[in-house]
A and B are shown apart, each in its own frame.
Chain A
Amino acid sequence: MGCLWVILISVALAVGAVVAYRNGVITKATLLNLAGLGPAHVEIDNFRDDAIQVSILRLDAAKDSKPSPTALTIKPFNVSTYHAPGRGTYRVDFRATTAGTLGTCTLSARSGNRYQFVALPNHLVVNRVNRPALAGSDLIVATSRMCR
């Protein structure tokens, strides 16, 4: 009788998981994150009056591969998201159409983490959404410990 309950609960869990997966409640990313293999999410908010160009390059790729940078152009007041394919070190360069180089962040991204960059007229802000900074200097790319 005890064995029957175990089977019934297992079947119910399996059916529930399939339904959740099909409805998008559980995604492939959720499962990968549980295994520590999921992507990290990098959101870039351009709150400047000019467009910005963002270049994202993985620095610790396998030796035999030659990664090419991902280039994003984000118009004023637009938002874009980049999925860092997995845990690793990424160099994120920011340039503005009128102001030139805005800053560079060498980011150690972890699976499932969410990073937010906000380009402002006077500052380039970085924030780890699921574990925010404890000091103001860590919110500015030029001084943040997250970007070293």
Chain B
Amino acid sequence: MKRFVSFALCIVAAMLASGCGPTITVENRTRFPVRAVVSQGMNREVVDPSPGESSTVDADIGPYRAYAVPDKEWIAYAKLTRKVLNDSLADADKLTGPQLLDVIQRLKDIAGRVQQYEAAAGAGNGCSGNITETGSEAHTVDVNVGANGRLVTTCR
């Protein structure tokens, strides 16, 4: 009996230690790299599950949206942004007012880009789900290639 109690306590401790909150797992069912955006209110995660693999993000109770883009599209955007930021911030102390505003706008644009994907998810190009207090804590987003060759996400 004591062993059982110890075992049960270990399980509970392990669950607490691992922060057993709700999670969303993004499964890449395509044969090429994708970048998936999972957003939930102010919480945004961008992950890159390899083909046939999955990535898991922590989530909260409430509605969420998911969208996937080909990896190269996101990388191209990110590399352009980082080049502009790197160049602009080479002499950060000497930035003029307009240059500073430009850098801040570039920084805002990162969130803006993710919000574009969020909007696309809401417009039917992605998927949305809802994590409830009473429902399952494990939610999955499948990324597949649709009949038209475009990426399709399914929340389940």
Interface residues of A (CB under 8 A from B): 23-24, 27, 29, 41, 43, 45, 47, 75, 77-81, 83, 114, 116, 118, 120-123, 125, 127, 129, 132-137, 139-140, 143
Contacts and interface: CB of A to CB of B under 8 A. Distances in A.
A136 B93 CA distance: 5
Contacts of B78: 47, 77
Given A114-B42, A125-B107, 5 more contacts: A47-B81, A77-B48, A77-B78, A83-B43, A121-B86
Interface residues of B, number: 36
B86 A120 contact: yes
Contacts of A137: 92-93
B85 A127 contact: no
12 contacts: A43-B44, A77-B78, A80-B46, A116-B110, A118-B107, A120-B85, A120-B86, A123-B92, A135-B100, A136-B92, A136-B103, A137-B92
Given A77-B78, A125-B85, A136 B100 contact: yes
Contacts, number: 100
Interface of B: 35, 41-48, 57, 62-63, 74-75, 78-79, 81-82, 85-86, 89-95, 99-100, 103-104, 107-108, 110-111, 114
B43 A81 contact: yes
Judged by DSSP, the binding face of B is helix
A96 B76 CA distance: 21
B39 to A, nearest CB: 9
Q: Which 5 A-B pairs have the closest CB atoms?
A: A136-B95, A136-B92, A79-B46, A47-B82, A24-B63
A143 B107 CA distance: 18
B89 A24 contact: no
A125 B88 CA distance: 12
Contacts of A127: 104, 107
